[in-house]
Structure 1
């Protein structure tokens, strides 16, 4: 659904790039062509300048390096800088700042610090932009504690830092989940008379919401407003999302209304957060009403919000409504992506409309889109459950041919189908192949195989496999234990079944109604009525009957 896709709404609060400031002057040269915005042309122009006599001023080389930085061609810019040095073109203060920025974005902070040494050799001092760039580079590499130590060292040497500097540090601290450290840093900069802005507050509010500390996040928002710092659409969206995460939909809606009253228009992301939350609560009609509000507010609906609503309808088994939304989207000029098709295919499969699902799958091919692992897995599961096994292996081969890696769910579906159709040895071979491909089986994989072994009378093999799983420390669930208890009961080993139930509960896995029903039925079948009735009483005492 929307959150599983992450809505493409990762908080847009990353600190902006800090290209070095260039002096406000310009050199004119009739031998130099105008600066291009195309990276390849920029490289060609850069190389051409080495053959111009006299050699152009470093300023012109800097302009091209900046144009490459602007399109994130950091390695190219670094390579051209090295050409400058080899060709005898002296880098200046601005060149070195550009290259420090490139090294930081390219994950080479050590080399960035060597750039600072060159700045010092030129007789300059690094400015706030240089220091910010280095702190950001450390944070980008996950070296947030080193960035904080660097900050302390910089202050000790008498440098002054800006609000942007602290935005970088707080962003880094929040990204590693150190919420309390971020709040302490906020309090420190307030004492230093640096006024935090909406971006800094929003970062911390976002981290608090991710930690489900939504009331604390709201308190920080209230503090921000009380200090005359106006929240923006990002701040509100974070809080709306936070309230939705903790299931406080009414507060999320109240906040949405509040932002409208403050003349801050919710954007597509804000609305989609609410649509997603309503869908997860099963309130799909209300979610569709939000779409109507969006249209009225002249917000252009995108593929994410449509797919979120479709998924909501599929979750409540209203697949026809999901289909209606799917075709409405296309009529409105929004092109469905593979995720949309996967939602519809999965929804149709769940209500056994296999042919319609296959038609949509064919439509993906007709539109020259590549189905992803989720699409293939949904369809494989559907075909397995509908008994169309002959189609499954062709689909699996196609999946591999198209470079879509099967995951543990794909393999579980195939192993389950093989077990249910009596092909246990093939299921075991596929299980081994899965492990060979470094796909880690999960508890469902183990349960499927154990059930398959028990059903064909290979209880000894099942017990050996089961014991091996326990020895290796796998966390098995009540379904896995129940499969083994059922296997023991079918072989008439009722005392062993009771012992396993006791061992299961000792391991913190509590019997459910199915576990009890299997054992009760087995004891009644063997005329051990006292034991059966004792289990019935225990079942009643636990509220399972």
Structure 2
């Protein structure tokens, strides 16, 4: 079993072991070049033309050479008509024409692209049964098919089985495995496979390194990614623009703009031209840090270098201006997009609608929504949430319901963000109505939904309704988490109902809803300590002493002494006063 498999913790797999003969000889790739790539010189045919020509050839006597059929099948693969290629190949065999290794390899490719890996392996078994020798392209296609389905364990074992039979793989195959590992989050296993490749005297190419560097950067392991880049330089593997883009993205995501700029200078020294993505990364980090002047300088550098800002550039700049509350500047950028030949997308409109709503420019936001509809653009959930939040904050609550209905009509049911906006802006009746509406439309609420409702009712002075709602949830057997309990307990404490808060705290522990840090306990302790001066000494002691014991037993002794101190003080006062 391979070391990479062991690291992944995968059990052995018997996939395809039985398909291999006891000895599968290794044939140099040159032997297969003539057939493996013959279909790459496909005719530029449309699907219909390819089908007509293929069927005409089927009835020719004598039949045309098999490579001629393969060219047509290959042309269909190029235009991604995989089912058609499979269908034609079946007709091919029904006429008694024996497929060759290329035909079968094309079939494997089609099945893998369609996600039918089991069928692909059936064709592979047929290749072996017919006495053909699969080449590196066939093996790599099967490995890629497994990787695309997320079956890395099987891909690695299939690789190991082939190697055990004497087969040798190349950079492309290992690049496929590395890509599959990185896409499934197994970057460490990919790094180990990289070392193993070098042990087989195969020199990994820039694509393989780029794949791992990109994965490391996206997982914020930028130091390791930069070390890998340094390793490339030492091994004289030339980095390309993709290498630098990945590293710059990683550094920018970590807030290390200085290091990202240094990489841009490295690119210049190595005569590697930055692309639109390179500049967009720098524009994005500048905007997120509120450095709009720097963002414009980067865009100017992009234009000077011959680049043209795209919709991503404009969206990033607009969002940056909105973040620094300069919505008028953002609107100017939005209007200049069309003048410069760039069509705004849904994200463009959503950014501007959100910016207008935050500035309470609701009419402008609604005008943009109507403009989207006129252009047959479908507003997404983000667009509607921004509008609903803006409507609530501006007191235009009557329009919210229309938006909620519109969302539902467009197949975008109102979510917890809408509910939260209504609660936070004290539109509790609307929030409750929306909650009932969600239930009626069979939208299943989650625990966050319950927390929003309970918290909103408590903070809005509807404690009795909150208690009834909470009790209803308990009776129905809903499993609530700590935040929901916290919201209810805080509401009870705020109303001075400490005995009920303590009772609910006990129920919370009984139901297994206690949070690990004891936040609920400390919150209740804080309320009790804050208000104990307003209680009679004996009442304060009766409430605080049990809570101190509860804290000690439930979440550890740290901090329980604070509650105990107040409790003992109250107890002494009660004893002295004789109460």
Q: TM-score, normalised by structure 2?
A: 0.78
Alpha-carbon distance between aligned partners in 2 of 1:399 and 1:408, rounded to the nearest angstrom: 13
Partner of 1:15: none
Partner of 1:443: 448
> Match for 1:494 among 498, 504, 515?
498
Alpha-carbon distance between aligned partners in 1 of 2:341 and 2:198, rounded to the nearest angstrom: 49
In the alignment, does 2:36 pair up with 1:21? yes
In the alignment, does 2:426 pair up with 1:422? no
The Cα of 1:83 is off from its aligned counterpart by: 1.9
- Segment of structure 1 superposing worse, 246-255 or 451-460: 451-460
In the alignment, does 2:205 pair up with 1:197? yes
For residues 159 and 492 of structure 1, do their structure 2 counterparts lie closer, same or farther at Cα, with a shift above 3 Å needed? closer
Residues 38 and 71, structure 2, Cα contact 8 Å, conserved in 1: no
Partner of 1:247: 255
* Cα displacement string for residues 329-351 of structure 1 (whole angstroms, at most 9, x for unaligned residues): 22211111111001100111011
SS in 2 for 1:342: helix
Q: Which one has more relative contact order, counting CA pairs under 8 Å at least 6 apart? A: 1
Alpha-carbon distance between aligned partners in 1 of 2:295 and 2:116, rounded to the nearest angstrom: 46
Partner of 1:67: 75
In the alignment, does 2:118 pair up with 1:110? yes
Higher alpha-carbon Rg: 2
Alpha-carbon distance between aligned partners in 2 of 1:489 and 1:199, rounded to the nearest angstrom: 60
Partner of 2:183: 175
For residues 468 and 64 of structure 1, do their structure 2 counterparts lie closer, same or farther at Cα, with a shift above 3 Å needed? farther
Partner of 2:277: 269
CA RMSD of aligned residues (A): 3.5
Alignment of 1:98-137 (within 5 A): 98-137=106-145
Alpha-carbon distance between aligned partners in 1 of 2:536 and 2:368, rounded to the nearest angstrom: 54
The Cα of 1:89 is off from its aligned counterpart by: 2.8
Partner of 1:218: 226
For residues 465 and 291 of structure 1, do their structure 2 counterparts lie closer, same or farther at Cα, with a shift above 3 Å needed? farther
Residues 492 and 500, structure 2, Cα contact 8 Å, conserved in 1: yes
Residues 276 and 308, structure 1, Cα contact 8 Å, conserved in 2: yes
For residues 357 and 153 of structure 1, do their structure 2 counterparts lie closer, same or farther at Cα, with a shift above 3 Å needed? same
Alignment of 1:36-435 (within 5 A): 36-413=44-421, 420-423=427-430, 426-433=433-440
For residues 182 and 36 of structure 1, do their structure 2 counterparts lie closer, same or farther at Cα, with a shift above 3 Å needed? closer
> Match for 2:465 among 445, 458, 473?
458
The Cα of 1:283 is off from its aligned counterpart by: 2.5
Residues 318 and 334, structure 2, Cα contact 8 Å, conserved in 1: yes
* Cα displacement string for residues 159-210 of structure 1 (whole angstroms, at most 9, x for unaligned residues): 1211111111111122222222212211111121111111111111122222
SS in 2 for 1:422: helix
Alpha-carbon distance between aligned partners in 1 of 2:258 and 2:451, rounded to the nearest angstrom: 42
Alpha-carbon distance between aligned partners in 1 of 2:216 and 2:475, rounded to the nearest angstrom: 42
* Cα displacement string for residues 193-247 of structure 1 (whole angstroms, at most 9, x for unaligned residues): 1111111111111222223221111111101111100100001111111112222
The Cα of 1:405 is off from its aligned counterpart by: 4.7
For residues 510 and 356 of structure 1, do their structure 2 counterparts lie closer, same or farther at Cα, with a shift above 3 Å needed? same
Length, aligned pairs only? 506
Instruction: Identify unmatched segments of 5+ residues in structure 1.
Output: 1-17, 27-33
Alpha-carbon distance between aligned partners in 2 of 1:276 and 1:322, rounded to the nearest angstrom: 14
The Cα of 1:306 is off from its aligned counterpart by: 1.0
For residues 475 and 45 of structure 1, do their structure 2 counterparts lie closer, same or farther at Cα, with a shift above 3 Å needed? farther
SS in 2 for 1:458: helix
The Cα of 1:43 is off from its aligned counterpart by: 2.3
* Cα displacement string for residues 342-369 of structure 1 (whole angstroms, at most 9, x for unaligned residues): 1100111011110110111111122232
Residues 408 and 442, structure 1, Cα contact 8 Å, conserved in 2: no
